[in-house]
Amino acid sequence: MLSSHSLQKYKTLVAINPEDPEAHFGLAVALEEAGNIPEAVKEYNACLKKDSRHGRAHFHLGFMYAKNGELDFAIKEWQRAQEIQPRIAEALAGDSELMMFFKSNVEKSLTQFERPVLINPRDPVANFRHGRALDLLGKPELALQSFRKTIDLNPNFWEVYSSAGMTLLALGRTAEAVKTFQKALELNPKFTEGFYNLGKAYLEQGRTNEAVQQFFKAIELEPQASRSHLGLGQAYLRQGNHGQAIRSLQKAAELSPGDRKILFALAKAHEEMYRFDLAIQTYETCIQAAPDFPEAHYHLGLIHLRLAQLDEAIRSFEKTIELNPPDAYAFYNLGLSYYRKNQFEGAAEKFGKAVQMNPQDSFAHYNLGLSLMRLDKVEDALPCLQRASALNPTDVRIRHDLAQVYAKLGKIEEAVKNLDEAIQHNPRDADSYLQLAGILLKAGRAGDACQKLQTAVELNPDNAEAHFLLGEAYLSQNNSNYAFEEFLKVTDLNPRHAAAYRSLGLLYARERKQLDTAITYFQKAIDSDRTYGKAYSDLATVYLLTDRVEEAQESFEKALELEPDDGLSRCNLGIAYLRGGKNDVALREIQAAAARDPRNFRIQYYQGLALEALNRLNPALEAFQKASALRPDDARTLYHCGCLLAILDHRDEARQALSRALELKPDLSDAKARLEQVSRGDRITLDPWKEIAPKARAATSPAPEAAVPIAATRPVEETPPPPSKPETPPTQRLTGQAIFSGAVAPFARGKHDEALAQLNLTLEQEPGNIKAGYFKGLCLVQLGRLEEALKVLRQFEEAALALEDFENLLLLQKEASQLQDRLAVKAPAEPAVPVESRTEEPLPEEVLLPEEMPELVEILPAGTLAQDVDVSLSEETPEPAETQIPQEEFVPEAVEVPETVETATVEPPHVDSAVEVVAEQAPEPEVIEVFQEEPAATTGLESPEEGPPVSAEESLPKREFALRQPIVPKKPRETPPSVQMLYDLGLAHLDMGRVEQGRETFERALEMDSHHGPSRLQLGLIHMRQGQPLDAIACFGRAIELDPDFMEGYGELALAQGVAGHWEDAITTLENACRQFPETPELSFRLGVAYLEHGDPRKALPRISEALKIVPGKIEYTAALAKTHFQLGHIAESLEAAEEVARRDESHPGVLRLLGALYSQTGKHESAVDALKRALRFDDDKAHVYYDLYTLYHAAKDNDQAAKALKEALNAAPKDSPLRETILKAQAEVVGKEAPKEAPQPPPKARKTRAAAEETKKTSGKKGKKKK
């Protein structure tokens, strides 16, 4: 009850702020409670004057009218309140402060409506009013009783049918509601609201065609009724007719400019058309019209989140929570917004709120665990992920991250067990094998890891990451040949895979000693990912080893810009500066590296070398002593310590150090010579430059030149591969596609002589490589050797024609034709001098294994991966697939090569590199050192952006569930206006039926912005329309890659895969989509249809049934259910479903044919024939329908009708179709039964005798007749 001081409080509030509708409403309630009804009515009206959409004021004003006996006015006010705020009665009944007051008002109001019924129980109007009041006051079941009584009293009272239908519709009893609305329209065919309500009921049942018809009838009767246009727009949206939907909704908005329902529906339509700019504008207009509408704020936040406009998203979700505090979805997405901003504390807090509000939400638990992992609270994250896995045990992503948490906590067995369970749930999930392999590698079980990775590759041969990890695993087992093969497969599958190019460069540098080829691969890695610091560091090292000091300095500087904490790169930059004569800068860099990483042996060693070279002996001795403390058994460090101690006159200590060095390495000749000098008391001189810069010797250094060796911790040996897999020497693969790939980079940079050399090598090994021949022709054109180029192009043109390689044939013909024209116009230029192919001399074997050098680290040392580097796949939070984008193979169409698109690649787990430059007496330079640590990537997938919370309005769509898994934050990316204009132009072309112009426009948009998903989607749909499913598959797959939350893309991709006959791929796509977007009826339905087409109706049945539970009565789902039951032999269930489909839409494809088969099996011959005859009007596949009719007539022994049907089937059957062959066989059988068999022809000699005998018979017969 309201206290007396409330009255005074609200009077004061009204006096202070007379324009505040809430103040007037509070005062009115206080006056009503005090019994001052006239003043209360005045204040309610004053509140509505300030805010006409104040639902509670309308509702309480209805109470006033009811108490005063003005029942029709009371119903009118309650109905207006219901329109403004659906289920307002439930909301007021749940208000703790006004609950008793509300209940009292309800009882008093209903008493007023019951009085006329008690006075005259047979008065239909009184019963109808009583039912309306019960319905509006939140008592629908009692309202239906009053409506039934009214109908009993007056069966022709059409208004009661309309009200009863609305009540039934609100209770979810849609079928009864449809019948009730139909009865109302029978009684009053001019009832506009009846058509509108029937259209809504049809929409609830999924009968969109019937719904459109009803809304059109409502518009014909009342063209200015905005809600009919709204219903028509919603029906068009359900059909996927977005253009008509937007036109209808815009018309509704013109008729009712401030209606938030219409504006909300229009915004959703723009959103479905990927016109996020128009959607944002419309949501903002909706919010201006209704600032307290939480759904508009929520969906606006979802769009901002999708566009990575995180600050705007946060503001929208916070406003949603302010208006609707218990909204768990808003808290979820608010947490996701903070997560993407790297504000993990805020993300954890909001996900925690979402978990409190909905403890059964597995994804809220999951994302809370991921946030805690980013905060390094691994132990706190463990129970969250365990709870998420318990709630959703079949979601492999949750199990993947749970396994990584177990691994980080040292619980390897639990991690392996968890992933084994994930594999049991889905034995064909390649990602689970990848995750398990990563953990096994971390545990040092490289053999087991190889087995898991081989399984992953078998399941998904096109998974570049699986091949890459398998290559790393082979390296950990010293199988460098196998590793080489796997890395080449990676580059074939993903030509933009920077880590694979880097690994190939390292293998060329370490195993093959081909430094120029290594440079090419490192440059490819950098071209693929300009932010790849380790590739710059490796490239700089090779430059340093080939005495390209300035280029080495530049590359080291770039590596340090990208990774400032890379101590080894900084140390090697210092060495490069030393070799360039910049001593002070060099020393500063090396000392900075030592300060950053004082426990790094190699940095301390090189610091000592640098100080020694600069003649700063005491600091050099200190650095070598630190290095020796870090690695006491390193003979080379002890050698340097001994030399410096001797120079500084600490001869006893020098002898001890040199003796210890010889004990550790007896064949260290330098140490032996220095020990003899110390023993004799001779003066010792040092030459550190032979370790630092053998070819860039300081002028003061008198010692002979020496080369920088290739470092190695142990002899480099070719370990034979396992016997189960025959060894394939990498050189064999190198001579083909690998060498050709190496020609692309110099070609793109204009170095056509280098490219030509690589192409010549390719063609020596693969003379039939058409693509290499095409590139060779282009290179010769650029070098001015036109006649030779034309000869090459014509030669490979013939080869392409012979191989039926029409794609390359067109390119060759085009280029040769242009070249022929050039040669016809003017005389060919003097051909340039051929550029000889460069060959790289391998470094001598003695350089690889220096006897006098200290222990060094080779490139990609075997075993490092398993022992030192964490290759777990979720060191970081899962990154969406868009971060690694496989590109098509580079095939230019003209001489000008397009610039390479720079694409950032998240590198899978890989051994890190840095340079070690160490000297030994040898004539050739050394290669690279690799031992830095990189963060491991994850393979987590994103979940859908939306999913279904309860809407606040009856006409609003169910809210879809929010984004299911956080995405690693990335910079907001906006579509350029020019791209958006091209996209709009393409849609306009399609609307006008100009498909080819639309395709060209979308392709131009993608040339400007290859990440524009909507253009790629439309291009895929065009390919489907033109019967090119394989091209469509590529478009849809790329669109999903760019936006993993694009739910429609999965459905379209699966459809294209099915049309192409790749049903297994379609099933895999839909299974993944259903896991990512649970409770999505369209995906469940499509998966069921895929199972059905693949011949597995048992799996199809639960999927289609699940879709029908979510959307009951949808005609497509019911038709698929009928087919599924038919294939399973459930005749009764199939017949029931098929009859329901035919009753609602007999033109639905295939349903009448199915009915014909069902009636035939149940012995209803006439019904079967009738169904098939009706099918001829609608079914495009008339050949099968006629053949089914033939089968029925043939079984009934109606040969004439059977023959006619068979003839029609033959005329309608396409040529070369299997059905045509079946029809011909059936026709042959029919003809064979009906036509008399002809007598065999007699032999030639007997023919004359037989003819003479027949002539004799005829003659004798005539004579006989004459006698008679």
The band of 1197, judged by pLDDT with boundaries at 50, 70 and 90, is: confident
Query: Which of 632-641, 713-722, 857-866, 915-924 shows the highest mean pLDDT?
Result: 632-641
Q: Residue 950 and residue 358: Cα distance in Å, rounded?
A: 13
The band of 1252, judged by pLDDT with boundaries at 50, 70 and 90, is: low
Would you give the distance in Å from CA 461 to the centre of its chain? Answer: 19
Residue 1 pLDDT exceeds 50: no
- Residues 670, 565, single domain; the answer is yes
- Residues 534, 665, single domain; the answer is yes
Is 1265 part of any domain?
Answer: no
CB 81 within 8 A of CB 88: yes
Query: Which of 29-38, 173-182, 949-958 shows the highest mean pLDDT?
Result: 173-182
Total tally of structural domains belonging to the chain: 3
Which of the listed residues 1048, 1063, 1078 is the one where a domain comes to its end? 1078
Residue 351 pLDDT exceeds 90: yes
- Angle between helix 396-408 and 412-425 (nearest 10): 170
pTM attached to this predicted model:
0.49
pLDDT of residue 858: 29
- Residues 1030, 992, single domain; the answer is yes
Is 312 part of any domain?
Answer: no
- Residues 791, 855, single domain; the answer is no
Is 518 part of any domain?
Answer: yes
Minimum mean pLDDT among 311-320, 860-869, 1237-1246: which range? 860-869
The band of 835, judged by pLDDT with boundaries at 50, 70 and 90, is: very low
- Residues 560, 684, single domain; the answer is yes
pLDDT 10s digits, 727-736: 333 333 344 4
Residue 1028 has phi, psi (to 5 degrees) of -120, 70
CB 99: neighbour CB atoms within 10 A?
Answer: 12
Residue with the larger pLDDT of the pair 696 and 1049: 1049
pLDDT 10s digits, 163-215: 898 889 888 888 999 998 888 888 888 888 889 989 989 988 888 889 999 99
- Residues 577, 672, single domain; the answer is yes
Query: What is the 3-state secondary structure of 2-52?
Result: CCHHHHHHHHHHHHHCCCCHHHHHHHHHHHHHCCCHHHHHHHHHHHHHHCC
> Amino acid identity, residue 847?
V
Q: Position of tokens 């006959």?
A: 1061
Domain residues for 745? Answer: 730-825
- Residues 694, 786, single domain; the answer is no
- Residues 774, 640, single domain; the answer is no
pLDDT of residue 856: 27
Nearest to 1039 by CA among 1058, 1056, 1027, 1025: 1056
The enclosing domain of 1009 has a CATH number of 1.25.40.10
Tokens at 77, concatenated: 């006010």
pLDDT-above-90 percentage for the chain: 11
Specify the DSSP element, H or E, that contains 607: helix 601-613
Residue with the larger pLDDT of the pair 261 and 806: 261
Is 1157 part of any domain?
Answer: no
Q: Position of tokens 């059977």?
A: 1202
Half-sphere exposure of 1059 (CA within 13 A, CB side): 19
Q: Residue 788 and residue 756: Cα distance in Å, rounded?
A: 13
Is 893 part of any domain?
Answer: no
Is 147 part of any domain?
Answer: no
Going 395 to 396 to 398 to 402, the CA torsion angle's sign is positive
- Residues 878, 760, single domain; the answer is no
CB 625 within 8 A of CB 653: no
How many helices (H) and strands (E) in the chain? 65, 0
Nearest to 1093 by CA among 1129, 1073, 1120, 1130: 1120
CB 743 within 8 A of CB 755: yes
Is 199 part of any domain?
Answer: no
Mean pLDDT along residues 1009-1017: 78
Is 630 part of any domain?
Answer: yes
CB 1018 within 8 A of CB 998: yes
Residue 929 has phi, psi (to 5 degrees) of -115, 145
pLDDT 10s digits, 983-1008: 777 887 787 777 888 888 888 888 77
CB 1160: neighbour CB atoms within 10 A?
Answer: 20
pLDDT of residue 307: 85
- Residues 1054, 1014, single domain; the answer is yes
Query: What is the 3-state secondary structure of 359-384?
Result: CCCHHHHHHHHHHHHHCCCHHHHHHH
pLDDT of residue 1031: 76
> Amino acid identity, residue 1253?
A
Mean pLDDT along residues 1178-1202: 79
- Residues 515, 615, single domain; the answer is yes
- Residues 589, 675, single domain; the answer is yes
pLDDT of residue 800: 74
pLDDT of residue 927: 32
pLDDT 10s digits, 515-548: 888 999 999 999 988 888 889 999 988 988 888 8
